[in-house]
Every structure is written in C-alpha cells, then in structure tokens.
Structure 1
Amino acid sequence: MESNYHTLKRSDNQLIVLTHLSQLLTYVTGFGGLITPLIIWATQKEQVDGMDAHGKSIVNFQLSMLIYTIISIPLIIVVGLGIVTLVLIGILAFVMPIVNAIKASNGELPSYPLSINFIS
C-alpha cells in the first residue's frame, strides 16, 4: 500500500497580519522590524497558505528601507536632502505595514512601494 502524504497548508490570515505589523517593532523597541518578520516567514512559509508571498514582500521592503536609510545618511551632510528622505522613509515604513496588514486581513496580496526585489 502506497502512502500519499501531502502537506496541506493552513489558512492563517491572523498570522500574516501579525507578520506585517511586526515590522512596527522598530518604532517600539528600536529593532526587530526586519528580524521578527524574517523569522516568522522562514518558519511558517511551508505551513501557512500565502505566507511565502507576504514574507518575501516584507523582507524585500525592510531591506529596501534599510538601504534607502543608509544612502540618506551621507546626503544629510552633503546636500541636506537626507533629512527629508529620512522623514519620508520613516513615514513610509510606518504606514505601509499597516496598509498591507489590512490587505492581508482581507485576503489580498501586499504591495510595498519602492521595494527592491532581493528575494523573488
């Protein structure tokens, strides 16, 4: 008798929503906005339906924001424009996880603007 074992992914929009919102840990604790969603995505992408797509989007967005922040720091000294870009990055990094958490709760795919596709 042959065993036909298939792993069924469970639907867990709440965990996906929490994964998006975990990016806001940076504003509360000063760190964790990249690490926490990365750990949740890495451990749950095989078990939760849709987690892989959401997790990749989150990690790509967080890495993109990190790069934009690093680029903005020298712009403060050189041009002064870096302060404006840092404020815009801060607003974007705060608002977009909330917007995408709402989308996830409705079963929609995330969309993070200015996100570089590091993981596809």
Structure 2
Amino acid sequence: MIDNHHKNLATFIHLSTFSRFVIPFGNFIGPIVLWAANKSKSEFVDQHGKQAINFQISVLLYAIILGTLSVPLFIFKILSGVDVIDFNGFNNFHINVGEPSALLYVGGGLSFLAIIVFMVELALIVKASLSARDGNAFKYPLTIIFLK
C-alpha cells in the first residue's frame, strides 16, 4: 500500500513541470530536485520522477526538431519575398504579396503541430498527476527513456 505522502510527492513531481511558466527551465529543475530528494523514499516516487523527467527531456527534443524544421521554412519564405517590396518613401509604400509557397504551408503546418503537441503535453501532465494522486503508475506515451 502506498501512503498519502508518497502519492503527494509523486503528484507534485508531475505538477512541478508547470513551474516553467514562472522559472526558466523550471520544468526540469522542479522535477529533478523533488525526485532527487525523495527517490530513495519509495519505488513509487522514483518511478514517477523518472517518468516526469524523461517526458520533459523528450518533449524538449521534439520541440527542437520541430523548430529546426519549421523556422527555416518561414525564414526562406520571408527572404525570398524581399524583392517584391517597393519602398518609395512614406507616401508610397507598396507590399506585393504573391501566391503563398509550399514552404509557407509546410512551416505553418509544423507550427500548428507544435501547438497541438504543447496542448497534449499539458493534458498528459495533468493526467499523470491525477494518476499519481490515485496511487496508480503512469507511463507517458512517446517518451524516450533516459533514466532507467
């Protein structure tokens, strides 16, 4: 039987990832500090801590991959359209935007995917914390295992 203290610790490990909205890299610092201080107290806390940290590292890697794919596509589109801007003083400013290119669509699609992944991440963190509160094990989907 898992006591309430261990359930609360595991829950706070998952919820501490929301500290990134207040502290830079709080989504790593919070879970690592709570997990390192309490991993020897119970196997339940240890497993939830590893899951939370592995998930945050995985999400960071996925975000880096999406960013490296989508940002250059927007930059290429913006730089390719530089020659269509006519600036003849403040009285005669023309911007000629032509047809959107496939690069813009792909970059926009990847950016939209990043927003969806962010919302799914928040929902999974809440689901994991509720699972920890109830004393159940939780495994984040599509998580790369760094800590075993």
Matching residue within 32, 39, 42 for 2:33: 39
Give the aligned residue type for 2:38: Q
Pairwise CA distance, 1:95: 1.1
Structure 1 unmatched ranges of 5 or more: 1-8
Which residue of the partner structure matches residue 95 of structure 1? 123
Q: CA RMSD in A?
A: 1.9
The 5 Å alignment of 1:1-120 reads 11-76=5-70, 77-78=72-73, 79-80=106-107, 81-120=109-148
Q: How does the TM-score come out when normalised to structure 1?
A: 0.83
Runs of 4+ residues deviating >6 angstroms: none
Amino acid at match of 1:110: F
CA offset digits 1:21-62 (Å, max 9, x no partner) = 011112344430111101111111002341111011011100
Aligned length: 112
**Residue 30 and residue 92 in structure 1: after superposition, are their counterparts in 2 closer, same or farther (change >3 A)?**
farther
Cα pair 1:41 1:55 within 8 Å, conserved: yes
Taking the aligned partners of 2:139 and 2:130, their CA distance within structure 1 comes to 11
TM-score of the aligned structures, taking structure 2 as reference length: 0.68
- Give distance in 1, aligned partners of 2:113 and 2:22: 21
- In the alignment, the residues of structure 1 paired with residue 59 and residue 116 of structure 2 have an alpha-carbon distance, to the nearest angstrom, of 10
CA apart distance, 1:17: 0.7
Identity within the alignment, %: 30
- Name the one with the larger strand percent: 2
In the TM superposition, residue 20 of structure 1 has moved relative to its aligned partner by 0.7
> Is this contact kept in 2: 1:57–1:111, CA < 8 A?
yes
Shifted more, 78-87 versus 67-76: the winner is: 78-87
Between 27-36 and 13-22, the greater mean CA deviation after superposition = 27-36
In structure 1, the residue corresponding to 2:27 is in which secondary structure?
A: coil
Structure 2: any 5+ residue segments left out of the alignment? 74-105
Quick one: distance in 1 between partners of 2:57 and 2:41?
24
